[in-house]
A and B are shown apart, each in its own frame.
Chain A
Amino acid sequence: AQKITQTQPGMFVQEKEAVTLDCTYDTSDPSYGLFWYKQPSSGEMIFLIYQGSYDQQNATEGRYSLNFQKARKSANLVISASQLGDSAMYFCAMREFNTGNQFYFGTGTSLTVIP
């Protein structure tokens, strides 16, 4: 089974609008961390935001917030007030604390911000 599922291969959003990128995960480990990374066309991977499985509140980092729904095993990334520079691939990732500390990445969502 896929550990991380990103069902939106491509998304479009109007500049200044908010957009939600979906991510669901699969784990039986009660302790895990969820990450979002951005990969612009230049190729580098940039860390955006982190959510721990025991965190009570949804993580926020500037215009990024993580909509964490533990029972549904979803960790959607919300980008508010989209900017042209947000156009990139976005990867959701998970790391399990107790099961070998493996790092699993989703297949990514390509976001295009339209002026």
Chain B
Amino acid sequence: DTAVSQTPKYLVTQMGNDKSIKCEQNLGHDTMYWYKQDSKKFLKIMFSYNNKELIINETVPNRFSPKSPDKAHLNLHINSLELGDSAVYFCASSRKWRADYEQYFGPGTRLTVT
């Protein structure tokens, strides 16, 4: 059973479109995250939810909106896609919000905006 799953794995879309990426974890973790990995492999946190509450909201365009319907799910909706949004987006979860818990990552979603 996949611990952290993301759908879709690949997403190719045109500028201006709206798209969503879904994430689910079956680990019973309290905390979930979204990361963006750019073409140079740099990973940057975007959002974090703890028990469905938004905890980290980094400086990302407000075209990006996370939604956590329950503890096991954290979806990412992106409006008006731009070329610069092309990246790999990783969802992750950790048992608790505490700093000493490692994160388990999903397989990533490669978003290509044309």
Contacts and interface: CB of A to CB of B under 8 A. Distances in A.
Interface of A: 31-33, 35, 37, 39, 43-47, 50, 52, 89, 91, 95-97, 100-103, 105, 107-108
A75 to B, nearest CB: 14
A107 B104 contact: no
Contacts, number: 55
B45 A44 contact: no
A95 B31 CA distance: 14
Contact of A91 (B43, B99, B100): B43
B64 to A, nearest CB: 17
Nearest to B100: A33
B97 to A, nearest CB: 6
B107 A31 contact: no
Contacts of B106: 44
Interface string B74-102: 00000000000000101010000111101
16 contacts: A44-B105, A44-B107, A44-B108, A45-B103, A45-B105, A47-B102, A47-B103, A50-B102, A95-B99, A96-B99, A97-B98, A103-B45, A103-B103, A105-B44, A108-B41, A108-B42
Nearest to A39: B41
Nearest to A55: B100
B33 interface: yes
Interface of B: 33, 40-45, 55-56, 88, 90, 92, 97-100, 102-108, 110
Nearest to A35: B102
Given A44-B105, A100-B56, 12 more contacts: A33-B100, A35-B103, A37-B105, A39-B41, A43-B88, A43-B107, A46-B105, A47-B103, A47-B104, A97-B98, A103-B33, A107-B41
A95 B98 CA distance: 9
Contacts of B56: 100-102
A87 to B, nearest CB: 15
Contacts of B105: 37, 44-46
A31 B99 contact: yes
